[in-house]
Structure 1
């Protein structure tokens, strides 16, 4: 069963610091988690993250008096990385024959692996690779992909959109194959 996911993260060319992860399984289950351990100062120094990712996070706009907005509806999803790792592991292991899928998946997979330490530390049942939707789109001639209606750069909204893009690519693949399958 496929699991579509997305991560938001801070990266500096050496480190990938997880901000949030969203996962959607084909059976309708969803997981959303925000790390309480990412570097707020690094987030604030990154104009792109502040403009695109920060607005969907349960943080105070000015970060005055502490970063977390406890009134935000997503505040209940804020957890330490170790707890996020346990939630992600349970989510994936509850999925029969899990396949991971993401858009431009390389960094997402590294961010996922780093929840558990090194890649070789991945728990049994957690795939060691992520299938790349962008690579599949390229293989199919780069069809015009559906636009995301809302929530862009919110990890859960992006994971939901990844599922939509996957379903779109299946139709494209059938069309490219002359309707077979």
Structure 2
């Protein structure tokens, strides 16, 4: 099954690191602050967001599933106005689903759950490391470190926190899964 993904173009590749320019898109996101661990936060955030796309919104509209599901550390408590992904840190983990391109910030169904927000993600330049395997914190951290090392070797300074993007469903065989670690950058290698 093929899911809609954010639009991007590949600018260049340096070793295993790919540099992409993403178009702007919308996400539904939630901050899971009450769960410290990576796996529990990912599961809780996914359930909240799935309820939203399954009709848990003020118009009771079903929204088509997209990819990826993102997870990122949320380093400090801030208003929920950040992109789709999973990130984790002191304030918790931010989980996000991209919304289909047919929606605008004005036309996207409003979430019924106050913990879910619809936000715009601006166009941006990112560095990406793709890998397969299980969705464990250890696997994510290993590949995050590999991405950061690749950027350092290329003389590229990241801006912001890295995030995990999961492209497959939970029943996909781990060796067939497409996972990515992404981080925003200001430029590509010379």
Higher strand share: 2
Q: Same fold (TM over 0.5)?
A: no
- Bigger Rg over Cα: 1
Higher helix share: 1
Please report the TM-score for the alignment, with normalisation by the length of structure 1: 0.26
Please report the TM-score for the alignment, with normalisation by the length of structure 2: 0.25
